[in-house]
Amino acid sequence: MKLIIAIVHDEDAQGVVEKLTENGYGVTKLASTGGFLRAGNTTIFVGVEKEKVDKVIDIIKDMCKSRKEIATAPTPIMGNAGLLATYPVEVKVGGATIFVIDVDRFEKA
């Protein structure tokens, strides 16, 4: 038995939890912030047989992959104090940090 601890962005949390649940994996979701992936993270715990670790990691990576999106950001116009123009900017979203931990003993009540 392995415990997979994944830290994912809030924006991807719902999707990855749903996908894992659909595939029959039990998922526990904890609110977390900061650090590995800045503010707005969710930590998820998934307990699985070791043969299924690869599948779970594939799902997490697939649902949370680091990607670039175009957003528009207001930018001050040089020499025109107080005037803002919006320009498209590339922002990085997604990403996950995944730890696989060995479980000594697993019990259900």
Q: Residues interacting with its own copies, by CB under 8 A?
A: 1-3, 5, 7, 17, 20-21, 26-37, 41, 43-47, 53, 57, 60-61, 64-66, 94-109
Using the rule CB under 5 A, which residue among 6, 8, 9, 20 binds Ni ion?
9
Tokens of 78: 């040089």
CA–chain centroid gap for 100, Å, is: 15
Residue with tokens 């699985």: 48
The conformational region for residue 35 under phi > 0 = left, psi -120 to 50 = alpha, else beta, is left
Q: Which of its own copies, Ni ion, none interacts with 49 (beta carbon under 5 to 8 A by kind)? A: none
Smallest distance from its own copies to CB 53, Å: 7
Work out whether 96 is an interface residue with Ni ion (CB under 5 A). no
Radius of gyration of the CA atoms of the chain, in A: 19
Between 9 and 47, whose beta carbon lies closer to Ni ion?
A: 9
Binding site for Ni ion (CB under 5 A): 9
